[in-house]
Structure 1
Amino acid sequence: MRIENYREAFLNYLEKNILVKEPENLYQPIDYIMSLGGKRMRPVLALMSCDLFGGDFYEAMEAALSVEMFHNFTLIHDDIMDSADLRRGKQTVHSKWDLNTAILSGDALMIQSNQRLEHYEGTTFKKLISLYNKTALEVCEGQQLDIDFERMLDVPMNAYIKMISFKTAVLVGASMKMGAIVAKASSKDQNKIYDFGLNLGIAFQLQDDFLDTFGSEDFGKRIGGDIVESKKTFLYIKALELADSEDKIKLLDLYSGAHNEDEKISEVKAIFIKYGIPELLQDEIQRFTLKAFNDIESLSLDKLKKAVLKDFGMSLMKRKT
């Protein structure tokens, strides 16, 4: 089945299952954030994984919805912590309503995401809820690391990879493993499909780092936004490692002081380019993508199904937005 078919099936299910009820000011923000769109990558992966392992992908729909609801809960709270006014070109929940409503609706959305797993019984439920709780806690840990990095000028690369693994990639891995659990795949396949999702999720986030600074305006947000916000991405961390003392001092100043935004973007990008950092980042993206593809080879799937996973990974890494 094509990716678009999984996405269409999920969107139809989502429309029927996200209902506004009383009190409206609690549930309207949930309906709003869930309807803002996005690639729906995580629920699609849950459905695809279930299907590939021989399950009825429709049986994984509640797990897929759980994952997507949790993801959107994190977006509500991320936007609050970042004081962001826009999400996917629309007002964020806390700016459209107010801070207290956003916090409460976010909490309700997380509880609802947890409730979705009550659809399953016995061992399947136990495995799903255990994975859900482990993943949810790791996402919180990743978010805290991201906050901690805001106060640091020198972030170790291994700490950065751990942060993006927890904040972004574990939910990708969990989505795929949930689909495998519903399909009753072997424990080995469940763990290997998780590893595939994890490594692909890391590559996906590193690709985001690249596109934010060196992508086109079609990326969907201002190019250089990470630089303006002084985010400690792979580009910045690797540049600090390789720059001579003069450029290192300049880079630290650009990330710690007040500067004209356009000039800051231009000067920081020039340092990145000078030391070949964009190429090194592409190498790192390729490394994690290849790790994901190696995980595919360990799965007890036929060649055709392995090709589906590889094609999906390739399409994700070729994206321009």
Structure 2
Amino acid sequence: MASTTMHPDQQLALMRQAIEEQLQARALHERQPQGLFAPIDYTLRLGGKRLRPLLCCVATATFSPEWQRALPAAAALEIFHNFTLLHDDLMDRSPLRRGQETVFRRWGDNTAILSGDAMSIEAYASLAEIEEKALLGVIVPLFSQMALEVCIGQQLDMEFETRSEVCPEEYMEMIRLKTSVLLGASLQIGALIGGAQPSDALRLYEAGVQLGLAFQIQDDLLDVYGDEQTFGKPIGGDIIHAKKTLLLLYTLEQLQGDALSELRSILALSPEERAGKVDRVRQLYDEAGTRTYAEGEVQRLTDKAFSLIDQMELREEGRSLLLALFHTLSGRTK
């Protein structure tokens, strides 16, 4: 058992290592046929922050010192998350994921579909390995509801691409489904494994959802206003591809007259033509007060998430870990 005096960063590193070992223990690199399992193993080995399984383990730690009991569920959440990324890359025709060739580019579309399907099944197989079998009747429906909502969110995202009118409220619901419910479910499932009352587990779920929304809006802000070196990809990609982010949708609602007409004319251009208009679109965002509005939404949602945590009676060690993770996700420094 880890020492209660361990620094949160050390404890999170210990959890992350345990999650990696849990994933590797599934021995996907050894299973046959390798044509099916090698792409799954490849996807999981691409790395990432392992945020969702960490949230699950930490949520367990907020109610019980035996956070290791959450590892099968944590692995299930990470496998499911990576399954969605594998299929997202296929749908978006993305050539790279975390700097490496995507599965469909390396193995082809059919393999990407089938290996992704197998990953979703593997997630349930891992979930079924939790020791508290009595909890499965509660956790499996929660996991299934989350999984379905993620698919609904992805479908809405695709539909928004071809719709001429989308309002900010619809966008917020889409990102709640596509991104935030998985963060919330990771906390809720972990809390239940730790012995939390359903009401407390639901409160953690809501905190995860609020923080997930804030994280996505912050990501949208960075795409327009961020530093290219820090952000890790070219700035203005959402503008170039006319992606219906909260920033764009809010600006379309706020602008009037010539400014609105100009923005609509820029959106009607090809991506190649819009590439030269990024600075001008940013100016139109500023005219509409969009940056101030979006930053205010990030703050409001983040404050709500932290407020939900502040109201809960949690194990002090677990609370420290949870706040450390939330600070990382929100970008807060205190």
1:297 deviates by 2.7
* 1:271-290 equivalence runs, <5 A: 271-290=284-303
Which amino acid in the other structure matches residue 192 of structure 1? R
- Could you list the per-position Cα deviations for residues 165-202 of structure 1 after superposition, in whole angstroms to 9, with x for gaps in the alignment? 00000000000111111112111111111111111111
Report the equivalent of 1:234: 246
2:40 corresponds to which of 18, 30, 45: 30
Moved more, 222-231 or 117-126: 117-126
Name the CA distance, whole Å, in 2 between partners of 1:260 and 1:271. Answer: 17
CA contact (8 A) 1:55 1:184 kept: no
Quick one: which amino acid aligns to residue 168 of structure 1? T
Higher relative contact order (CA 8 A, sep 6+): 2
| Partner of residue 177, structure 2 | 166
Whole-angstrom distance in 2 between the partners of 1:107 and 1:216: 37
Tell me, yes or no, if structure 1 residue 56 matches structure 2 residue 69: no
Match of 1:125 in 2: 136
- Among candidates 187, 204, 208, match of residue 193 of structure 1: 204
Q: State the TM-score, normalized to the length of structure 1.
A: 0.94
C-alpha distance in 2 between matches for 1:305 and 1:36? 28
Indicate the SS of the match to 1:260. helix
Alpha-carbon distance in structure 2 between the residues aligned to 1:247 and 1:62:
53
Distance 1:93 1:233 in 2: 27
Deviation (angstroms), 1:153: 3.0
Q: Are 2:166 and 1:155 equivalent residues in the alignment?
A: yes
Asked if residue 4 in structure 1 is aligned to residue 13 in structure 2, the reply is: yes
Residues 1:305 and 1:58: Cα distance change in structure 2 (over 3 Å): closer
Partner SS state of residue 17, structure 1: coil
Q: CA shift at 1:228, angstroms?
A: 1.6
Unaligned runs of 5+ in 2: 1-7
1:143 correspondence with 2:115: no
**How high is the sequence identity, in percent, across the aligned residues?**
39
* Structure 1 Cα separation of the partners of residues 122 and 321 of structure 2: 32
1:55 touches 1:182 (CA, 8 Å); kept in 2?
no
Pairing of 1:1-321 with structure 2 (within 5 A)? 1-2=8-9, 3-20=12-29, 21-120=31-130, 121-217=132-228, 218-258=230-270, 259-301=272-314, 305-318=318-331
Unaligned runs of 5+ in 1: none
Q: Output the CA distance in 2 between the equivalents of 1:98 and 1:239.
A: 39
Q: Tell me, what secondary structure is at the counterpart of 1:179?
A: helix
After TM superposition, give the deviation of residue 133 of structure 1 in Å: 0.4
What's the CA shift for 1:293?
A: 1.2
Query: Quick check: 186-195 or 10-19, which moved more?
Result: 10-19
1:185-229 Cα deviation digits (max 9, x unpaired): 111111111111111111111111111221122212221111122
Contact 1:10–1:43 at 8 Å: present in 2 too? yes
Count of aligned residue pairs for this structure pair: 320
Equivalent pair of 2:87/2:116 in contact (CA under 8 Å): yes
The worse-fitting range, judged by mean Cα deviation, of 72-81 and 271-280 is 271-280
The DSSP-based 3-state class of the residue aligned with 1:68 is helix
RMSD: 1.8
- Following superposition, the deviation at residue 305 of structure 1 comes to 4.6
What is the CA–CA distance in structure 1 between the aligned matches of 2:103 and 2:277, rounded to whole Å?
30
User: Which amino acid is the alignment partner of residue 273 of structure 2?
Assistant: N
Matched residues in 2 for 1:17 and 1:279: separation?
47
Give the Cα separation in 1 of the matches to 2:253 and 2:323.
Answer: 33
Q: CA deviation at 1:267?
A: 2.1
